[in-house]
Structure 1
Amino acid sequence: MTTGSNWTRMSGDSASHPLYPLFYPRSVAVVGASPKGGYGLRVVEALKAFRFAGPIYPINPNYDEIAGLRAYPEIGSIPEPVDAVAIAVPSRIVPGVVRQAIEAGAKSGIAFGSGFAEAGEDGQALQAELRAICGDRFPLIGPNCLGVMSYLGDAALWSIPIGEPRHDGAVGLVAQSGNMALTLMSSSRGLRLAHSVSAGNQAVVDVVDIMSFFLAEPNIRVIAAVIEGLSDVARFRRVAALAAERDVPIVALKLGRSEKGSQAAVAHTGSLTGSDQLYDALFAQYGVIRVDDLEEMSETAKLLSAARRPAGAGLGVFASSGGECGLISDMAAASGVELPDLLPETREALLGLLPPFANPLNPLDITAAGWGNRDVYRETAKLLAMTPGVNIVACIGDTTRVSGPISATGWDKMIAGMADAREQTDIPMAIINILTDASYEMTDTLAEAGVIQLIGARTAARAIGHAGSYARWREIHSAASYAHKVDAERRLTALALLPPAGSGGVSEATSKALLSLYGIPIPAGGLATSLDAALALANEAGYPVALKIDAEGIHHKTEVGGVALGIESDDQLRAEYAALLERVAARAPDARVRGVQVEGMVAGLVELIVGGRNDPLFGPIVVAGLGGIFAEALQDATTRLAPIPSAEARSMLEGLRGAGLL
């Protein structure tokens, strides 16, 4: 896979982005189109169905006409250089077609077919050839992809049959899995897309390049990304930081949490998957929202792309069912959603609105008497919206595809009531469908009314929880700068202290020297290579002291008996020094002992462990957690990618389960 850095842009508008011709083409050539069917014909038909305004040039030397359009024998024979070339030919022919497209002045392309990096050594060689041909001259989506759907550009460079274009929204979707993109495009859940891209093998253009284009689009408020793996984490970090700066949330479905899932990703598109724990760290660091499935992605992206985005996870919710109120309470508790208590005056107002047997709480059961009543829905929603801590108001109910017209069940009046409340408050209004079977009429009516539709109790709660987490992340990181200022002189000193790359872990003595270099206090003491040296260091530091083995190959000293604490005298030190070396020799005979660290005891403090390593995919990473015996026993640690701003460091510590101890 390529780093794709030729096509990532961090500034400028979308019209100046090198991927612009793929999303807003003025003309398209379809190589391999045939009246017999296949990817090429489907692209031609999709373009016509979308009423694409520019010329379409089918390329096939065996036909004079395809789908009512004049056909051409090769790209070089068409009357103008095209903005985009859709390539629907066998894999072995693709490199030659790309060469011809470049020679003919084409600006971009898509290769649909498989048989490249996912298909063994021969396919990998073919993909490498394709990448070399494109170089920095020709942005190519794919291969092994379904294509690009540009709803805002009225262009369907898509190789699988799709329904009518229903999208005109603010979400940019990119997926390494074309079928998962197609599923979201075809869903009745009401997710409104601006563009949808199946990235495939990412031989030339990758997910991050496409995300950078989405960030240049003024109408895109949310990026949704289905990711199997990243080949260039540093570039993703730059784009994610830009998204955070522009307040464009990234909702990511990262596949490969499990070992089998990781294997499937490699087999599918040849992706580098990397450590899932480090993906969690990466996403947490940049405010990327990680979801577990497509339903959660849809509802989260839908909520965050709404004209009004919740400023937190406080939910005011009502229903005509006590059971539904109980269900949403449980889902809220499991998703980090708060249900603020109602004010006494709010309860009093609700008692005047609802039947006398109603119990005004949050969640609120308005009873069956409120069903279908526009006034009750409007006033209830307004009262909940005025409750301190409420960031979004929702009512619960369902109309399925077999329920008939929404007017038959009173939903037209209830939606109107929610829309009225929306006009009279600043709080977003939503309807939560408990089931996932929503009708198109319901979805379209809610969209026209400006009322957010959240489908599924669990996914709705998760989406609201994610909105709250994103709002908190922005509040914490609003002043954080990801620019890293380097003290050049101290950097040179630090590099001189470190052992050569690849030589293993850094010794404790070297670690202490590095800490001192950056002004971090350390206990008095030092490294002793003899008993006499240990005695001298102990007397200099002052009893009580601790002894710790310093040896290459030993990372957890207590496991090999390499720690002795609370030593009060010279005589006790002599005995403990000998016993410590004897234990280590027995339990770790292959370790290369550098010496014994002698340090003054520091009592009454909580231990914190901070470490770092260089990951081949993610680069330098920092780990912080509870130290001492808790480091292994509790496994309570957080990870981030270096460098980190101070706000992120604080966030790491606050994210520990044992944060209260600190």
Structure 2
Amino acid sequence: MTLDHTPASPASPAAPADCAFQDLSRLFSPASIAIVGASDRENSIGAHTLSNLVDHSDFKGELLLVNPRQTEIRGIPCHPSVEALPATPDVAVIVIPAPGVVEAVRQAGARGVPFAVILTSGFSEADEAGKAMEAELVAIGKATGIRIYGPNCPGLVNINARVGMTFSPAYRNDLRAGPIGLATQGGGLGRNMMQGMERGAGIAMWSSSGNECDLQVADFIHHMAGDPQVRVIATLIEGIKDGPRFAAAVAHAARMGKPVVGVKVGRSEYGARAAASHTASITGSAEVNSAVLRQFGVIEVDDLDEVIDTAALLARRLPTGEEKIAVFASSGGAASLCADNVGAAGLELAAFAPETDRAMRAVLPEYAAFGNPVDTTSVTISNPSAFSDSLLPVAQDPGVGLVLLPIPMDYHQFTAHTAGLIVEAQGRTDTPLCPIWMSDRLGEGYKVFAEAGITPFRSLRNMAKAVRRWVDYGRWRAGADLDWTPALLTRGHWTEAEATATLTEAEGKAELAAAGVPAAAAQVAASAGEAAKIAHGLGGRSAMKIVSARITHKSDIGGVKLNVPAHAAAGAFDEIMANAARAAPEATLDGVLIEPMAPAGGLEVFVGVSRDPVFGHVMTFGLGGVHVELFKDVARRMLPVTPAMAREMMAEIRSAPLLTGIRGQAPRDMAALEALIVAVSDYVVAHSGRVEELDINPVWVGEEGQGALALDAVIVVRA
């Protein structure tokens, strides 16, 4: 292979994503709606869809019906086709069987309908015939400009405007408006999240995008980020078809100050397989998905109830990241157990100001516990006003950012009255007052909280997770570079390479050195005599490695010799060549690389970059040698990696103390390692159309002032 320090990249990325987002206001707040397949047949999809708009919505616009077999339904005229409608609607909601959907969309596109919401199933999620019909829908959209929502979806609802374009019979019961935007791919799980309303979580709007043949969950996240009625976005993602578009959407949400809380389905092989069969989506690498979500501040949670816990808390108040916690209870055991969970989550209890202590002592009995946690004892029954009179000073304490109120049991009207006092106190303070309803009995007090929009946590465990995520989001936002743009958006998104080639170590190190990445000076010997000459010229001891494009794990086959004195270089050459020939007889052996040994006492780390099929180039950093595979203690970032991101990655791994100095060991040269990481990122970004994969393992990191050095490098490029 010929070494080229300035390789030419292909002319342009394969299928770069267009990340311009269309205004979806007319979809969420249409002035006119057509139902294609409206029906009065009991329990039919068309009948449920019509009933939801007529009986359970507050839709003031024009409603048009399409049904060629009827002249009117419920006094509303029916028309034989979309083509025959007397006016062009903003949205066509399509509920007819799959074989007729393509023609209905064709007619809608031809007359300039902006949006089609296709509730019908039987497309790409079903079979090859369904895939073909879905491809026709995509072609119609491109030709006419109609945007397609679905197919295979439950519809779209705007709860704040009370407009339900859905067939769900549950719609009539799920109408608690509020500040949480909900963007999901799964319909059933999305409805589950909607029904967090029972706990007091108010939903502004819900999109459930189904097969996403056109509009994707990213489009709805982007829309909700710009909607002033939405304060938090909750999402459920089964697969990400368009990585650049998704990245652009969540980056927009971050810039708009709208937290995104989500569950990503497909984190195991089983889940990934099920998600693919459900929505025909790309699930991607779970580790990379999670890293990308974190990088954009998206709060990834483990289950649906945790979405509601976290989103509802964020909707009440955005954190600074410096909040300290107060625990306020009428049960000593509940107070102590709650405080345990606060500590286990790495959260910090606040120290009360003297005036807070005085205010509590003025109204609570002397045997109450006045520290943090606070135990008011049974005063909630004997003197409820003392409870509220002591709660408000705690909430207004300058060191308190959030108050936890564990409620271990339901005392009927007493608990309901206390709940009312807490709701009243919340109206007098900006500090979130957070009840934790620990009893299996959901009494009237629980309903008081829900009606007030104060979503109770259902367990101390979930409370700890949600509050930890709440504080962490504040810290992320305080340090986030909201102007950072991933290379995925600026350099394009490349499809999978048809063929690749691996540079030899000497070629790879030469490219890295030319790009400013410190790399050991390497020479290649083609004979034992040449090896001896090179080794004597270097002086001291050498590292010797087989050079072959077909052999990447050189040490595994006896292809590496370290600390070789100059007089033994010729013998080491012969041994390495023999080992390689025996282990890989089909491989072309280009010789043996010889370079000076790195100084003793260095720490070995790993820096690698791979191309993820969804999110493009992603860097991985961790301990070097076999440790990266054994412990999987790594940090990941999309490219480009900035100096600040490099420092974050170094601090993020569990083994970070080895870098900063542990048990009297000297700290490593963090500045040099930071510069090396950034230089590697810059190199890959500059050659993004050519470099498929890069592994530098190990990177030698000396003590402060000694630098960092790439000791081995494997670079895979497009052939």
> Counterparts of 2:161 and 2:394 in 1: how far apart (Å)?
42
Task: Normalising by structure 2, report the TM-score.
Answer: 0.81
Residue aligning to 1:616: 613
Instruction: Tell me the percent identity.
Output: 31
Residue aligning to 1:257: 267
SS at match of 1:514: helix
Residue aligning to 2:59: 52
Give the gaps of 5 or more residues in structure 2.
1-14, 492-496, 660-719
> Offset of 1:632 from its aligned partner?
2.8
SS at match of 1:546: strand
> Offset of 1:561 from its aligned partner?
2.8
Residue aligning to 2:573: 577
Query: One-letter code of the match for 1:643?
Result: P
> Offset of 1:104 from its aligned partner?
3.3
TM-superposition CA deviations, 1:67-105 (whole Å, max 9, x none): 342222222333211111111111010001111222333
> Counterparts of 1:164 and 1:578 in 2: how far apart (Å)?
79
SS at match of 1:117: coil
**Equivalences for residues 478-493 of structure 1 within 5 A:** 478=481, 481-482=484-485
Residue aligning to 2:48: 42
**Equivalences for residues 160-559 of structure 1 within 5 A:** 160-162=168-170, 163-187=172-196, 188-307=198-317, 309=319, 311-312=321-322, 314-333=324-343, 335-340=345-350, 354-370=364-380, 373-380=384-391, 382-383=393-394, 386=397, 388=399, 390-397=400-407, 408-417=413-422, 419-420=424-425, 423-424=428-429, 426-435=430-439, 438=442, 442-443=446-447, 445=449, 448=452, 451=454, 453-478=456-481, 481-482=484-485, 502-559=499-556
Asked whether the 8 Å contact 2:607–2:622 carries over to 1, the reply is yes
> Counterparts of 2:441 and 2:590 in 1: how far apart (Å)?
67
Q: Which of 628, 646, 658 is the aligned partner of 2:643? A: 646
SS at match of 1:583: helix
> Counterparts of 1:343 and 1:541 in 2: how far apart (Å)?
68
**Do the aligned partners of residues 45 and 584 (structure 1) sit closer, same or farther apart at CA in structure 2, a change above 3 Å counting?**
same
Give the gaps of 5 or more residues in structure 1.
11-16, 489-499
SS at match of 2:146: coil
> Offset of 1:209 from its aligned partner?
1.4
Asked whether the 8 Å contact 2:369–2:375 carries over to 1, the reply is yes
**Do the aligned partners of residues 5 and 447 (structure 1) sit closer, same or farther apart at CA in structure 2, a change above 3 Å counting?**
farther
Asked whether the 8 Å contact 1:538–1:545 carries over to 2, the reply is yes
Matched, 1:137 2:145: yes
Residue aligning to 1:635: 632
Asked whether the 8 Å contact 1:314–1:339 carries over to 2, the reply is yes
> Offset of 1:381 from its aligned partner?
5.2
Residue aligning to 2:31: 26
SS at match of 2:60: coil
Asked whether the 8 Å contact 1:438–1:455 carries over to 2, the reply is no
SS at match of 1:179: helix
**Do the aligned partners of residues 279 and 565 (structure 1) sit closer, same or farther apart at CA in structure 2, a change above 3 Å counting?**
same
**Do the aligned partners of residues 564 and 635 (structure 1) sit closer, same or farther apart at CA in structure 2, a change above 3 Å counting?**
farther
SS at match of 2:326: strand
**Do the aligned partners of residues 304 and 486 (structure 1) sit closer, same or farther apart at CA in structure 2, a change above 3 Å counting?**
closer
Q: Which of 150, 155, 160 is the aligned partner of 2:158? A: 150
TM-superposition CA deviations, 1:245-300 (whole Å, max 9, x none): 11211112110111111111111111111111111121121111111111001111
Query: One-letter code of the match for 2:187?
Result: G
The Cα RMSD (Å) is 3.1
> Counterparts of 1:277 and 1:351 in 2: how far apart (Å)?
51
> Offset of 1:52 from its aligned partner?
1.1
SS at match of 1:593: coil
Query: One-letter code of the match for 2:540?
Result: Y
Residue aligning to 2:663: none
Query: One-letter code of the match for 2:561?
Result: A
Residue aligning to 2:692: none
Query: One-letter code of the match for 1:101?
Result: A
Asked whether the 8 Å contact 1:610–1:624 carries over to 2, the reply is yes
> Offset of 1:585 from its aligned partner?
3.6
Residue aligning to 1:595: 591
**Do the aligned partners of residues 514 and 240 (structure 1) sit closer, same or farther apart at CA in structure 2, a change above 3 Å counting?**
farther
SS at match of 1:97: helix
Task: Normalising by structure 1, report the TM-score.
Answer: 0.87
SS at match of 1:547: strand
Residue aligning to 1:86: 93
> Counterparts of 1:353 and 1:556 in 2: how far apart (Å)?
72
SS at match of 2:500: coil
> Counterparts of 2:346 and 2:310 in 1: how far apart (Å)?
14
Residue aligning to 2:126: 119
Query: One-letter code of the match for 1:576?
Result: A
> Counterparts of 1:511 and 1:4 in 2: how far apart (Å)?
28
Moved more, 185-194 or 338-347: 338-347
Query: One-letter code of the match for 2:160?
Result: L
Asked whether the 8 Å contact 1:189–1:438 carries over to 2, the reply is no
Residue aligning to 2:653: 656
> Offset of 1:121 from its aligned partner?
0.9
Moved more, 288-297 or 467-476: 467-476
Asked whether the 8 Å contact 2:403–2:433 carries over to 1, the reply is yes
Query: One-letter code of the match for 1:434?
Result: M
**Do the aligned partners of residues 53 and 611 (structure 1) sit closer, same or farther apart at CA in structure 2, a change above 3 Å counting?**
same
**Do the aligned partners of residues 642 and 368 (structure 1) sit closer, same or farther apart at CA in structure 2, a change above 3 Å counting?**
same
> Offset of 1:392 from its aligned partner?
1.4
> Counterparts of 2:330 and 2:525 in 1: how far apart (Å)?
75
Asked whether the 8 Å contact 1:381–1:393 carries over to 2, the reply is no
> Counterparts of 2:274 and 2:488 in 1: how far apart (Å)?
40
Query: One-letter code of the match for 1:461?
Result: A
Moved more, 283-292 or 301-310: 301-310
> Counterparts of 1:257 and 1:143 in 2: how far apart (Å)?
25
Asked whether the 8 Å contact 1:435–1:457 carries over to 2, the reply is no
SS at match of 1:160: coil
**Do the aligned partners of residues 320 and 541 (structure 1) sit closer, same or farther apart at CA in structure 2, a change above 3 Å counting?**
farther
**Equivalences for residues 2-13 of structure 1 within 5 A:** 9=20
> Counterparts of 1:123 and 1:541 in 2: how far apart (Å)?
67
Asked whether the 8 Å contact 2:327–2:339 carries over to 1, the reply is no
**Do the aligned partners of residues 160 and 422 (structure 1) sit closer, same or farther apart at CA in structure 2, a change above 3 Å counting?**
closer
> Offset of 1:396 from its aligned partner?
1.2
Moved more, 265-274 or 352-361: 352-361
> Counterparts of 2:499 and 2:488 in 1: how far apart (Å)?
26
